[in-house]
Structure 1
Amino acid sequence: MSVKDASGDIVGRFQAAVGASRSEHDDTIGLAVSGGGDSIALMHLAARTRSPENLRVITIDHGLRPEARGEVALVASQAASLGISHTAVGWAWDGRGNLQAAAREGRWAAMRNWAAMHDLHEVWFGHTEDDQVETVLMRLARGSGVDGLTAMYPLTSRDELCILRPLLEVARADLRLWLKSEKIPWCDDPSNDDPRFDRVRARQMFAQLETLGMTRKRLLQTVDHMQAAHVSLQRAALAFAKQHVRQDAGDLLLSPDALDLEKADAPRRVMAAAFAWVGSSTYRPRFEQLLETVAQARKGATVTLGGCIMTPDKNGTVRLMREAAATASTQRSMDHADASGVFWDRRWFLEGPMQEGLIYKALGAGIKDCPKWRESGMPRTSLLASPSIWNGDALLAAPLAGLSNGWSARIVADFHSSAFAIED
């Protein structure tokens, strides 16, 4: 593509992708912009599609590289020149688990909270066709099945946020050519060439795979086939879940049919989704662990897996509850004047009379200070893992346990509407 052709072609393709997105929201759009070429292009293209006052930009500073401060400054400067509001949010790794996975979760948590504070329903990401190819290569190497090989969808949802990737059918090289033609600077992250990372190795391996016929076109065809299959399986699972799974606040009640994981895909898919939803986890449990846990529960045992407790209930059903010990406390600074609440344990949004220094955590032993907890109708074990608000050692509120004091707690996205959406 020539420099002359780049501008009109990229802008037209971007506008067509946005127009075909089936997005339900025409109000303010959030943009995730890191400072790299893909996201910088996203911001400038969005400014040609939406009025700047209807756009907001967020940049996450992981504090892992000295160049990050300059990247944040570049985004802030360009956003200001376009008349777009910009927010920079810091994130620090606690040293636990895999750094890349923790960074992904940290980015998402920051964006989700930011979107809620500003009443945003839709966020756009700058993933490109190259990202799609690299993703499917990595998942092929891991032996992924249908779900993994779907890679990324142009339009999906997560935690009640609509996610649009309007550049998913645009090659990275074409975007760079467009940026050069528009004289728009961007930052190159040196980690993008670091072979320690799977994505970089996948990118480097691709040139060799093309000689065997595993071309970009063939890989993208595989993604298309897998996405079609995945949609059918998800629809079947949703229909099964509506018939055999009932949500009770943050718990799930599963019928005997939902516990039969021997043959059909739908019960297996529903059970895995149930553990991920109750356990506030991005990842579903390993299939072998799932089979063993459910088998024990069918025999009448109370078992734990993935931060969840599964215990027998009435009429052959089982109740799946959050494990209080698997949750973590949150203490949020009042750095936003318009903040009305806080997310906790990934599923709950707590709203009430916020003040500096409050702690949000599982109720636990605080249930002794909730004299009306039995009136809730919820099992005691469920309430132990329910959200509560503390000022130091003093319990202020436990909305599900009958102690509200002006506070409320709601699930961000219920099981049936969120667990079987086209996943991010």
Structure 2
Amino acid sequence: MSVTKASADLAEQFSRALHELGVVKPQSVIGLAVSGGGDSIAMMHMAARAVDPKRLRAVSVDHGLRPEASTEIALVVGQAQELGIAHTALGWDWDRKGNLQGAARQGRWAAMHDWAAQTGIDALLIGHTEDDQLETLLMRLARGSGIDGLTAMARVDLRDGLRVGRPLLGFARDALRDWLRAEQIGWCDDPSNDDPRFDRVRARQMYAQLETLGLTRKRLLQTIDHMQAAQRSLRVAARDFARLHVRQDAGDLIFDPVALDLSKDDAPRRVMAAAISWVASRTYKPRFESLIARVEQLRKGQKVTLAGCVLLPLRGGGARILREAAATLPYTRPTGCTLASMGIRWDQRWHLDGPVKDGLRVQALGDAGLRDCPDWRQCAMPQVSLLASPSVWLGDRLIAAPLAGLSNGWSAQIVADFHSGAFGIED
């Protein structure tokens, strides 16, 4: 097969993989996370052949940690311009807290998520490859992960309300670089990708030894496939269990006593972890040990907090799980904001509609705000839930608290239903 024919075949394979994700829809706008490395550069060029470039938006994040980053982003800017793709460069500053790599991942995601929300992106494509998938599996094996961890990365999932697609998961890294060479497309190599101080690099370097044990790429990918099949079954069982034993009350979840017994079965554990993540607007589940310990305290009648949630015991042995007001962050609409007044998204779960204008601040109502809501006792929600409910302020003046009986033209709705959105199942 000629190089040109092989190159065309790989581009066609990408086009099929992209459309199979289900993220390419009429009039949809698709984001591309492009760092300048070979994987994401290949993804951008292949996407421009599979989709009208006018419907694509590229984004790069400079972490401010390497001087080469500006050169890499300049490369992306130039190539995106040649392809007719609009490009945005974002910055991120490390606060010197926690693990650098972990903080960089979180910072990069937060920057891209905010950009996607402001740009009207329907889905964000990330250039994770088959090699990334295998490395993820090996690292999670080393950490003793269960079924969820050993599923590695999904081809498409929902993260913080944004659909994320990985069209390159079926592509080997070397094949993508061969394609770039054949197409005479340049890319940048990050030297940290060969630094053995990082777990992912060491996992990559284990391939040759693993193959001597029969743990070939094919076998490892089969393991991921088996784990993903098992996970789908467990998610369906958990959703069905939740529909029987968990009730949603605005932004809170009310658990039957049977759903608090995490001692044996997978479904209650999975439902509780999903509930904490949903209420707290967190991508990652709480640590298993912490989850078990806190829920055991809850079953003994103690009010506890976990991962930005309050777990409140109820009469009869059930529980209410609600947002911890102190764990929320305020949002202030910037002065001179160019976004259309289509309401305000807050805490990733709430959508507020009303007379939007610059300078308005949305935050948890809190004790001070509740005192300015004379009719809050007539509301169906308990006081502790209202403290964490969304409220609209202008300076020090409370404008609205829709769930506490003070609307002034504002309404607040939960963006997604827990039962249909928290288990990663497409109905």
One fold, TM greater than 0.5?
yes
Contact 2:24 2:30 in 1 (8 A): no
Stretch deviating more after TM superposition (228-237 or 392-401):
392-401
* Partner AA of 1:39 in structure 2: S
Structure 1 residue 395 and structure 2 residue 398: aligned? yes
Distance 1:285 1:28, change over 3 A: closer
Structure 1 residue 156 and structure 2 residue 164: aligned? no
Residues 337-376 of structure 1: CA deviation (Å, up to 9, x unaligned): 1254554333334455555554443221322122232333
3-state DSSP class of the match of 1:48? Answer: helix
The percent identity for this pair of structures is 63
Q: Which residue of 2 aligns with 1:115?
A: 116
Q: Which residue of 2 aligns with 1:363?
A: 365
3-state DSSP class of the match of 2:50? Answer: coil
* Partner AA of 2:370 in structure 1: I
Residues 282-306 of structure 1: CA deviation (Å, up to 9, x unaligned): 3322333322322222232222222
Residues 100-152 of structure 1: CA deviation (Å, up to 9, x unaligned): 22322223333333323233322211111011011001101101010000001
Q: What is the TM-score normalised by the length of structure 1?
A: 0.92
Contact 1:34 1:40 in 2 (8 A): yes
Q: CA RMSD in A?
A: 2.4
Q: Which residue of 2 aligns with 1:416?
A: 419
Distance apart, 1:387 and its partner CA: 2.4
Residues 222-274 of structure 1: CA deviation (Å, up to 9, x unaligned): 10110010000011101111111111121110111211222211111101111
**How is 1:2-401 mapped onto 2 (pairs within 5 angstroms)?**
3-23=3-23, 25-26=25-26, 27-331=28-332, 333=334, 337-340=338-341, 341-365=343-367, 366-401=369-404
Aligned residues: 423
Distance 1:421 1:24, change over 3 A: farther
Gaps of 5+ in 2: none
> Which of the pair has the greater relative contact order for Cα pairs under 8 Å at 6+ separation?
1
Distance apart, 1:156 and its partner CA: 2.0
State the alpha-carbon separation in 2 of the partners of residues 394 and 33 from structure 1. 43
* Partner AA of 1:345 in structure 2: D
Distance 1:186 1:331, change over 3 A: farther
Q: What is the TM-score normalised by the length of structure 2?
A: 0.91
Distance 1:396 1:322, change over 3 A: same
Distance 1:385 1:97, change over 3 A: farther
Contact 2:160 2:282 in 1 (8 A): no
State the alpha-carbon separation in 1 of the partners of residues 192 and 259 from structure 2. 45
State the alpha-carbon separation in 1 of the partners of residues 378 and 193 from structure 2. 56
Contact 1:159 1:418 in 2 (8 A): no
Gaps of 5+ in 1: none
Contact 1:32 1:123 in 2 (8 A): yes
